[in-house]
């Protein structure tokens, strides 16, 4: 069976499964729509949380960044997984004990202010919309190649699928859909990785193959270092990043993970407080399967790409692939616009090297090369890797379904968070408190539909690779929501004014920094400064500025609180009851 037909069958079957589950688990009440009736088992919830959080950035983009940035991309591995430890230890059980539906609801009640609740909703929407753009980019990439439609059409198809199962099922439907999506995405990620690891190193496990010998007899990483340095790139295994930027980046991803609303609300779906901790633990187990595989996938994908393009001694007659002899996978990805060749010296061969390396430039001139002729979008590496390695068509089709599952599962979770914030916190909690449960459900579904349309529109013009866009969202969550939750749980002194001004200062400073170096992503060409590390403040990238924004948030909140009245006594008692549960045994499981 040809690849396209097989892909249609596999992807179509997975979509039918998601929609069928959503209609089977359709939410009939606000409790089911917002928190799945609080009846999800921790193991199942851990699997759903892993799918909710492992987005297109994890499945499609992370290994692509590792492939091209080498060890420097380890910030994603450390930051995203480390954040779950913070979430499990510092936030999840306390928020579950509070017993409400949404993050803004906790902030509004803890800081006894509808204004604080509204500010939290605004922060949540900004973070979630930014995050969902990366998912839409991933959907477009997967569709554009495997279903042979342009990225825009693919994005709209994915949007329609999310609309069908997210709007109907609410959190209940999304939870069980995400369990299915986790099974699809983890099989799609690990099966080709096992095939390729066996092919390149003889090792069954990619985690082991990464540190094993290549079939040529040279250690895999040593061979990769040799290949990339011969072409003017930096050593794959070298850390070349600014240490301060790397620390800030990692910390931003960590606290951003702990502050992501669509992840936090997953902990509201379990029956007991102790189940919230178990959910976090199981989530890490399920996430670790993919995250320990990603470095191997990235390194092997880069080596496969280089071996395809660079077939012999550099500069020799047979040293570069002839464009007219390019393999089928190359032709297939060219049609998407995500892989581009420009014959700068007219020799009909593909020169792929680092034309910005001063040490290599003289060598390139000697060969008559006129600059790098190949553009490779980082987001194609995981999806293209099985084709480059000439794996069976069924594996390639499975990878397509996995990439779409990763993007759609997270998109659904993000849209759920936005919908809950609008319907429960703005409408029911602030502006129209007397609406019926049926009306609240209607508002929730309308809000989700509007959010899907906005996300699709912004996804057509993303400001970077999927992982880069997602990193911006993590920075925004780190600078706004995480500090408010931490202070709400662990400080009885921070009051409503402190929380409000802290959140505003944190998110506005981070948005300003992103605007200065990235531009507003929905207005192309508005970046004010060149996006180079030389111009960044202390070398800190926009994706890493969330740590600074969080520091600003904490500082402003404490200063403003110290200059104004203490919170009411009943609020201080609320904090005490959340943080230090009275009694023992079953009391902590309420």
Lowest-pLDDT choice from 75-84, 223-232, 362-371, 579-588: 579-588
Q: Where are the alpha helices (DSSP H) in 100-150?
A: 103-110, 114-146
Whether 521 is in a domain gets the answer: yes
Which of 388-402, 475-489, 576-590 is most confident?
475-489
Contact present, 456 and 155 (Cβ < 8 Å): yes
Lowest-pLDDT choice from 94-103, 326-335, 409-418, 525-534: 525-534
Closest CA to 260 of 456, 32, 72, 472: 472
Torsion from C-alpha of 138, 139, 141, 143, nearest 10 degrees? 160
pLDDT of residue 29: 60
Q: Pick the more confident residue, 86 or 219.
A: 219
Whether 306 is in a domain gets the answer: no
Contact present, 164 and 22 (Cβ < 8 Å): yes
Flag whether the pTM goes above 0.85.
no
Which of 67-81, 139-153, 389-403, 494-508 is most confident?
494-508
Residue 587 and residue 590: Cα distance in Å, rounded?
6
pLDDT band at 49 (very low <50, low <70, confident <90, very high): confident
578 in the same domain as 507:
yes
pLDDT of residue 588: 44
CA angle 363-368-373, nearest 5°? Answer: 95
Range 217-223 average pLDDT: 91
Whether 172 is in a domain gets the answer: yes
Domain C-terminal end among 327, 352, 378: 378
Residue 141 scores a pLDDT above 50: yes
Whether 307 is in a domain gets the answer: no
Q: Pick the more confident residue, 517 or 551.
A: 551
pLDDT of residue 27: 59
pLDDT of residue 523: 44
226 in the same domain as 343:
no
Residue 529 scores a pLDDT above 60: no
Range 384-396 average pLDDT: 89
Q: Pick the more confident residue, 454 or 239.
A: 454
pLDDT band at 565 (very low <50, low <70, confident <90, very high): very high
pLDDT of residue 558: 96
364 in the same domain as 275:
no
Domain C-terminal end among 354, 378, 402: 378
296 in the same domain as 366:
no
Whether 130 is in a domain gets the answer: yes
Q: Give the range of the structural domain holding residue 329, as residue numbers without chain letter.
A: 312-378
Closest CA to 333 of 376, 270, 277, 362: 376
As a whole-number percent, the residues of the chain with pLDDT over 70 amount to 85
pLDDT in tens, 404-446: 787 777 777 777 778 778 887 788 777 888 888 788 778 887 8
pLDDT band at 105 (very low <50, low <70, confident <90, very high): confident
64 in the same domain as 139:
yes
pLDDT of residue 586: 42
pLDDT of residue 584: 36
Q: Pick the more confident residue, 184 or 582.
A: 184
pLDDT of residue 328: 86
Q: How many domains is the chain partitioned into structurally?
A: 2
Range 377-388 average pLDDT: 86
pLDDT in tens, 494-510: 999 999 999 999 999 99
pLDDT band at 589 (very low <50, low <70, confident <90, very high): very low
Whether 305 is in a domain gets the answer: no
Residue 40 scores a pLDDT above 60: yes
- Tell me what the pLDDT averaged over the chain comes to: 81
Contact present, 267 and 92 (Cβ < 8 Å): yes
Residue 234 and residue 393: Cα distance in Å, rounded?
34
- CATH code where residue 483 lies: 1.20.1730.10
Residue 210 and residue 295: Cα distance in Å, rounded?
8
Whether 266 is in a domain gets the answer: yes
pLDDT of residue 550: 96
489 in the same domain as 353:
no
Whether 113 is in a domain gets the answer: yes
75 in the same domain as 51:
yes
Residue 517 scores a pLDDT above 70: yes
pLDDT of residue 193: 94
Tokens found for residue 367: 């060969």
330 in the same domain as 399:
no
Domain C-terminal end among 338, 355, 378: 378
Contact present, 497 and 561 (Cβ < 8 Å): yes
Lowest-pLDDT choice from 222-226, 512-516, 518-522, 577-581: 518-522
As a whole-number percent, the residues of the chain with pLDDT over 90 amount to 21
pLDDT band at 169 (very low <50, low <70, confident <90, very high): low
Residue 313 scores a pLDDT above 80: no
Lowest-pLDDT choice from 16-25, 32-41, 260-269, 516-525: 516-525
Lowest-pLDDT choice from 138-142, 229-233, 312-316, 559-563: 312-316
101 in the same domain as 166:
yes
Residue 309 and residue 311: Cα distance in Å, rounded?
6
Residue 271 scores a pLDDT above 70: yes
DSSP of 195-223: HHHHHHHS-SSHHHHTTSB-TTSSBHHHH
322 in the same domain as 182:
no
pLDDT band at 348 (very low <50, low <70, confident <90, very high): confident
Range 308-323 average pLDDT: 66
Residue 153 scores a pLDDT above 80: no
Residue 124 scores a pLDDT above 50: yes
DSSP of 345-406: SSSSB---S-TT-HHHHHHHHHTT--S--EEE-GGGHHHHHHHHTT--HHHHHHHHHHHHHH
168 in the same domain as 65:
yes
Residue 525 scores a pLDDT above 50: no
Closest CA to 280 of 259, 262, 266: 266
402 in the same domain as 365:
no
pLDDT in tens, 243-254: 888 889 899 989
Specify the 3-state DSSP secondary structure of 340: strand
């Amino acid at each position: 069976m040809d690849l396209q037909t097989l892909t249609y069958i596999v992807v179509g079957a997975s979509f039918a499964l998601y929609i069928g589950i959503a209609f089977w688990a359709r939410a009939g009440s606000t409790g089911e729509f917002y928190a799945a009736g609080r009846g999800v088992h921790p193991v199942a919830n851990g699997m759903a949380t892993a799918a909710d959080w492992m987005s297109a950035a994890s499945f499609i983009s992370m290994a692509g960044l590792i492939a091209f940035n080498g060890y420097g991309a380890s910030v994603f591995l450390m930051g995203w997984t480390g954040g779950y430890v913070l979430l499990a230890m510092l936030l999840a059980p306390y928020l579950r004990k509070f017993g409400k539906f949404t993050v803004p609801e906790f902030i509004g009640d803890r800081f006894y202010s509808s204004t604080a609740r509204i500010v939290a909703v605004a922060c949540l929407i900004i973070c979630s919309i930014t995050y969902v753009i990366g998912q839409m980019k991933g959907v477009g990439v997967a569709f554009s190649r495997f279903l042979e439609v342009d990225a825009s059409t693919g994005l709209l198809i994915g949007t329609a699928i999310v609309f069908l199962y997210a709007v109907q099922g609410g959190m209940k439907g999304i939870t069980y859909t995400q369990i299915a999506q986790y099974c699809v995405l983890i099989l799609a990620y690990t099966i080709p990785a096992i095939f390729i690891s066996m092919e390149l190193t003889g090792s069954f496990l990619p985690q082991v193959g990464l540190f094993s010998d290549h079939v040529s007899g040279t250690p895999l990483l040593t061979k990769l270092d040799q290949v990339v340095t011969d072409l003017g790139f930096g050593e794959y295994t070298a850390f070349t990043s600014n240490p301060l930027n790397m620390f800030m980046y990692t910390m931003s991803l960590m606290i951003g993970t702990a502050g992501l609303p669509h992840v936090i609300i997953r902990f509201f779906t379990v029956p007991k407080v102790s189940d919230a901790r178990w959910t976090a633990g199981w989530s890490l187990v399920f996430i670790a399967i993919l995250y320990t595989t990603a470095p191997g996938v990235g390194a092997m994908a880069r080596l496969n790409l280089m071996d395809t393009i660079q077939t012999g001694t550099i500069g020799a007659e047979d040293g570069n692939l002839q464009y007219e002899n390019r393999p089928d996978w190359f032709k297939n990805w060219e049609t998407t616009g995500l892989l581009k060749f420009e014959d700068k010296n007219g020799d009909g061969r593909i020169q792929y090297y680092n034309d910005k390396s001063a040490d290599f430039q003289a060598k390139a001139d000697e060969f008559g090369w006129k600059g790098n002729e190949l553009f490779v979008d980082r987001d194609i590496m995981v999806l293209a890797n099985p084709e480059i390695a000439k794996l069976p068509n069924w594996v390639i089709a499975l990878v397509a379904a996995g990439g779409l599952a990763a993007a759609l599962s997270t998109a659904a979770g993000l849209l759920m968070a936005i919908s809950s914030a609008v319907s429960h916190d703005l409408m029911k909690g602030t502006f129209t408190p007397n609406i019926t449960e049926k009306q609240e459900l209607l508002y929730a579904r309308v809000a989700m539909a509007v959010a899907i349309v906005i996300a699709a529109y912004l996804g057509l013009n993303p400001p970077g690779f999927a992982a880069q866009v997602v990193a911006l969202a993590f920075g925004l969550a780190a600078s706004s929501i995480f500090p408010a939750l931490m202070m709400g749980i662990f400080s009885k002194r921070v009051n409503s004014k402190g929380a409000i001004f802290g959140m505003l200062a944190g998110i506005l400073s981070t948005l300003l920094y992103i605007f200065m170096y990235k531009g507003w992503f929905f207005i192309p060409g508005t970046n004010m400064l060149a996006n180079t590390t030389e111009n960044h403040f202390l070398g800190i990238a926009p994706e890493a500025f969330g740590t600074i924004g969080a520091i600003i948030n904490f500082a402003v909140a404490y200063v403003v609180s110290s200059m104004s009245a203490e919170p009411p006594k009943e609020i201080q008692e609320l904090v005490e009851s959340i943080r230090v549960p009275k009694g023992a045994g079953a009391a902590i499981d309420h």
